[in-house]
Structure 1
Amino acid sequence: MISYLSAGLLALIGLARLMTVRTGPRHLATFFLSMAAGLAVSADATVRLLGDDLLPRLVTNALQLLAMRALVQLVRSTRSPEKPTAFWPIVLCWALMILCYLDFAPHRFEAGTSDFQWRWSIVTYQVVLTSYAVTCLVLFIRTLARSVAVRPRGTFRTGLRILVCAAVATIGWVLFSGLPSLWLEITDLADLDFLPNARLLGLCAMVLWVLGGLFTTWDGALRLARAWRRIRAVTPLWKELVAAHPQIALPVRHDIEFTLYRRVIEIRDGLLALRAHVPPHLGDWLRTPVDEPTRAAAELAAALVMREAGRSWPQRPVAPDEAYAGMRDESAWLSAVSSAFKNSLVVREVRDRAVAEVR
C-alpha cells in the first residue's frame, strides 16, 4: 500500500509538471512519472499478481534508468545552447540487462544461493544498472548544486535543495539495492530480508523527491490557479464583447496563462471599439455616485444598446488613469468591471434607460 501511495504522489507531481510546463522540456515530469510506474510495478501486490519477481524487477529497473536519463536531460537543458543527451547509452544498458535476464531467468529457482548471486549475468546486470544510475545522479547533483547557489530565496530554491538531498539519498539506495550480491556477501542479511530493506531505503528517497517536487511546483501551481480564477472572473465581460465584435478574438491556444493575456487584450480591444457608442450624457442617468468599475460597466451596457441602434458620438480621448501597466492590475480591474456588468443594479438601470431612449 505504501508503494502505491508513493507512486500516486509521484504521478500527481508529474502530471502537475505537465500542466505547469505546457511548452518546452518536460524532463522532470518524465522522471516523476517513470519513478511512479516503477514503484507500482515493484509493489508486492503487483509481483504476486504477476506470479514472478524477476520480470517486474527488470521492468522497474528499466523505468528507473529512464528516470535517471531524464535527470541528465534536465540538467543539460539548463545550458545555453542546450546540449542534447544521447539515447544510445540507455538503449545499450537496456539491451545488456535483457541479455542478462535471458541468461538467469531460467535459473530463477536457484535464487538465494551463492551460485546464483555470483552468476556472471547477475553481476553484469547489477554493475550496468548501478553504474548508469550513479553517473546520472552525480551529473544531476553537480549542476543542480550550482543552480541553487544563484537562486533567490523562496520555495523554489528550497525545493531544489531538497532535490539535491533526494539525489544523494537515491545514490545510497542505488548502491545498496543495485548490488545485492555484494551486500548479501558482506552482511548478515538473508535474501528474503534484502528486498524489504532496499524498498524502505527507496521509499525514504522517494519521500524527499516528493517534497522537492512539491516545493518546486508550488509557485507554478499557485500561478495557474490564480490565472484560472481571473479567467473565470473576466469571462462574462469577454463573452459580451466578443459577441459584439467577433473580429477581436485572437487565435485559440491551450495555455491557461496565455488565455488570460489573450482575453484581457480582447476585452480592451472590445472596449475601445465600443467607446464611440457611449452616450455623452450617461452621467445624467447615474442617480448616485458609483465606483470606477461600475461606471465602466454602465458605459459598456449603454454602448452595446446604442451600437445595436446604430447611434454613435465623437470619441473622447482615453484618460491616463484608465491604463493599467501590470497584468495583475489589469485583470483585477476587468474582473471588477465584469462583476458589476453582471450583477450591479446600477448597470441594469442604465441599460433600461438606454433601451428606453432608443425606443
Structure 2
Amino acid sequence: MISYLSAALLALIGLTRLMTVRTGPKHLVTFFLSMAAALAISAEGTVRLLGDDLLPRLVTNALQLLAMRALVQLVRSTRSPEKPTAFWPIAVCWILMVLCYLDFAPHRLEAGTSGFQWRWSIVAYQVILTAYAVTCLVMFIRTLARSAAGRPRGTFRTGLRILVCAAVATIGWVLFSGLPSLWLEITDLADLDFLPRARLLGLCAMVLWVLGGLFTTWDGALRLARAWKGIRAVTPLWKELVAAQPQIALPLRHDLEFTLYRRVIEIRDGLLALRAHVPPHLGEWLRTPVDEPTRAAAELAAALVMREAGRSWPHRPHRDAHPGMREESAWLSAVSSAFKHSVVVREVRERAVAEVA
C-alpha cells in the first residue's frame, strides 16, 4: 500500500508540474511519472498479480533509468546554450539489460542460489543498471547544489536542497538494491530479506523526492490558484466588454496565468475605448458617496448605454493602471463584482437608459 501511495503522490506532482509548465522542457514531469510507474510495477501486489519477479524488475529498472536520464536532461537544460542529451546511451543500456534478461530468465527457478547470483548475465545486468544511474545522479547533484546556492530564501530553494538530499539517498539505494549479488555475498542477509530492505530504502528516497517536488511546485501551484481565482473574478466584466467591443479580444491560449494577463489587457483596452462615452454629469446620479471600484463600474454601465445610443463627450480623463499585475487584477476584480452586484450601478444604468429614452 505504501508503494502505491508513494506512486500516486509522485504521479500527482508530475501532473502538477505538467499543468504549471505548459511550455518548455518537461524533464521533471518525465522523472516523476517514470518513478511513479516504477514504484507501482515493483509493488508486492503487482508482482503477485503478474506471478513473476524478474519481468516486473526489468520493466521497473528500465523506467528508473529513464527517470535518471530525465535528471541529466534537466541539469543540461540549465546551461546556456542548452546542451542536448544523447539518447543512445540509455538505448544501449536497455538493449544490454534485455539481452542479459533473456539469458537468466530461463533459469528463474534457480533464483536465490549462489550460482544464479554470480551468473555473468546477472552481474552484467547489475553493473549496467548501477553505473548508469549513479552517473546520472552525480551529474544532477553537482548542478542542482550550485543552483540552490544561488537562489534566494524561500520554498523553492528549500525544495532544491531536499531534492539534493533525495538524490544522495537514491545513490545509496541504487548501490544497495542494484548490486544484490555483492551484498548477499558479504552480508548474512537471505534473498527473501534483501528485497524488503531494498524496497524500504527506495521508499525513503521517494519520500524525499516527494517532499522536494512539493516544495518546488508549491509556488507554481499557488500562482495557478491565484490566476484561476482572478480569471473567475474578472470574467463578468470581461464578457460585458468583449460583447460590446469584440475587436479587443486577443488570440486564445490555454495557459491560466497568460489567460488572466490577457483578460486584464482586454478589459483595460475596453475601458479606454469607452471612456469618451462616460457622461460628465454621472456624479449627479450617485446619491451617496461610493468607493472607487463602484464608481468605475457605474461609469462603465453608463458608458455602455451611451455608446449604444451614439453619445460621447471628448477629453474624458481616465484612471492610470496599477503598476503590478496582481494589484491591477485585484482592482478589476472589485470593479467586476460591483458591476455585477451593486445597487448603485443598477440605478446608474437605469438613469442612463431613461436619459437616452
TM-score range, shorter chain: over 0.9
| Residue number in structure 2 paired with 1:153 | 153
Q: What is residue 325 of structure 1 aligned with on the other side?
A: 323
Give the 5 Å matches for 1:1-359.
1-319=1-319, 322-359=320-357
Shift of 1:275: 1.2
Per-residue CA shift, 1:66-89, capped at 9, x if unaligned?
000000000001100011000000
Q: How many Å separate the matches in 1 of 2:136 and 2:186? A: 27
- 1:323, CA displacement in angstroms? 2.5
Deviation at 1:112, TM superposition (A): 0.5
Cα displacement (A) at 1:313: 1.7
Q: Which amino acid aligns with 1:202?
A: G
For 1:189, give the aligned amino acid: L
Q: CA RMSD in A?
A: 0.8
Structure 1 runs (4+) deviating above 3 angstroms are none
CA shift for structure 1 position 148: 1.2
Q: Which runs of 5+ in 2 are unaligned?
A: none
> Could you tell me the TM-score, scaled by structure 2's length?
0.99
Matches of 1:121 and 1:292 in 2, distance apart? 77
Rounded to whole Å, the distance in 1 between the matches of 2:270 and 2:159 is 42
Query: What is the distance in 2 between the residues matched to 1:315 and 1:223?
Result: 38
Deviations 1:224-268 (A, max 9, x none): 111111111000000000000000000000111100110000000
Identity among equivalent positions (%) equals 89
Q: Which amino acid aligns with 2:317?
A: P
| Count of residues in Structure 1 that have an aligned counterpart in Structure 2 | 357
- The answer to whether the 8 Å contact 2:17/2:29 transfers is yes
Note the C-alpha offset of 1:318: 2.8
- Distance in 2 (alpha carbons) for counterparts of 1:127 and 1:357: 86
| Secondary structure of the corresponding residue to residue 253 of structure 2 | coil
How many Å apart are 1:141 and its aligned residue?
Answer: 0.5
Looking at structure 2, the residues matched to 24 and 103 of structure 1 have their Cα atoms a distance apart, in angstroms, of: 41
In 2, the alpha carbon distance for the partners of 1:325 and 1:6 equals 43
Contact between 2:170 and 2:202, CA under 8 Å: does it hold in 1? yes
What amino acid maps onto 2:93 in structure 1? Answer: C
Return the letter of the residue paired with 2:297.
A
- The answer to which of 244-253 and 308-317 deviates more is 308-317
Q: Which runs of 5+ in 1 are unaligned?
A: none
Report the alpha carbon displacement of residue 25 of structure 1 after superposing the two structures with TM: 1.0
Distance 1:272 1:287 in 2: 26
